[in-house]
Amino acid sequence: DAGVTQSPTHLIKTRGQHVTLRCSPISGHKSVSWYQQVLGQGPQFIFQYYEKEERGRGNFPDRFSARQFPNYSSELNVNALLLGDSALYLCASNFRPGSGYTFGSGTRLTVV
Amino acid sequence: RKEVEQDPGPFNVPEGATVAFNCTYSNSASQSFFWYRQDCRKEPKLLMSVYSSGNEDGRFTAQLNRASQYISLLIRDSKLSDSATYLCVVNRGPLNTGFQKLVFGTGTRLLVSP
């Protein structure tokens, strides 16, 4: 079975640009979450989607948005990129509420 | 104060040693608890869930004390391959709305040497 897949794996963008990150959850998983991890810190919660509805949002500016599609895949969009948005962006999915999440290998975003 | 607190380490131990990590969390509404392992520049991987009754998986034992809001991980007979960062994770859900949010500690780095 395929795990959580994310694309692209690496990305370099310029300040002010827009980026779209993509995630496909494990088959059968209906909950998808996005996390941002900067060096030396644990991942920080950005969004959670369950059954195609946004269920939670972390403390991130409105430049960050996301959506979940009918096939449960998800996109994270970031507008007006700042240098501080440089991080590893992780997508995670789980089968049922309360179970552990499986993470994708992440998208490493560098903003220059 | 961070919601999930861990000693960042590093813990330097020889092969075969027993090592224990501790973690405290501040939100008493937290619903479920996990330890994740993260290798350098890789994604976190679920090591084990943590239950009040304590649970064991091979050389790894995890324990939860809800009254003290304290989580522990014990690794016996350390292997070189155990070298990694261990993340203490609290799930603030699930709520009946379907909301779930993992809150991570900053991680404890373990270095196992020959």
The predicted-structure confidence for A17-54, as pLDDT tens digits, reads as follows: 999 999 999 999 999 999 999 998 999 999 999 888 99
- Rounded to a whole number, what is the distance in Å from the CA of B11 to chain A's nearest CA? 16
How many angstroms separate the CA atoms of A39 and A26, rounded? 26
A10-14, B11-15, B25-29, B87-91, range with the lowest pLDDT: B25-29
CA–CA distance, B39 with B114 (Å, rounded to integer): 18
Return the number of other C-beta atoms located less than 10 Å from residue A43's C-beta. Answer: 28
> A96 Cβ partners below 8 Å, 6+ apart?
none
Beta strand B55-57 with B102-104 is: unpaired
Higher per-residue confidence, A49 vs A97: A49
Tell me whether the omega of the peptide bond preceding residue A25 falls within 30 degrees of 0, making it cis: no
Q: How confident is the model at residue A78 (pLDDT cuts 50, 70, 90)?
A: very high
pLDDT, average across residues B96-105: 87
The pLDDT value given to residue A54:
92
| Predicted local distance difference test score (pLDDT) of residue B12 | 97
| Residue with the two structure tokens 């014990």 | B74
Percentage of chain B with pLDDT > 90? Answer: 78
Distance between CA A60 and CA B3 in Å, rounded?
Answer: 17
User: To the nearest whole number, what is the mean pLDDT of chain A?
Assistant: 94
Which DSSP symbol is given to B97? T
Question: From CA A51, how far away is CA A31, in angstroms rounded?
Answer: 7
Write down the pLDDT at residue A51.
87
Question: In sequence order, what are the residues at sequence separation of 6 or more whose Cβ sits closer than 8 angstroms to the Cβ of residue B26?
Answer: B1, B2, B3, B4, B5, B69
What number of residues does chain B have? 114
Under DSSP, the state recorded for B79 is -
Q: How far is A44 from chain B (nearest CA, A)?
A: 7
Predicted pLDDT of residue A95: 82
Cα Dmax for chain A: 39
Task: Provide the pLDDT confidence category of residue A1 given band limits of 50, 70 and 90.
Answer: low
The per-residue pLDDT for range B39-71, each reduced to its tens digit, is: 998 999 999 999 888 899 999 999 999 999 999
User: Which residue among B42, B98, B102 places its CB closest to the CB of A45?
Assistant: B102
Q: Which amino acid is at A108?
A: R
Q: How many CB atoms lie within 10 A of CB A83?
A: 9
Residue A48's pLDDT is 94
Q: What is the mean pLDDT of residues A8-20?
A: 98
- pLDDT confidence of residue B30: 86
Cβ–Cβ below 8 Å for A41 and B49: no
Question: Which position has the token pair 């405290």?
Answer: B24
The answer to whether the CB atoms of B100 and A42 lie below 8 A apart is: no
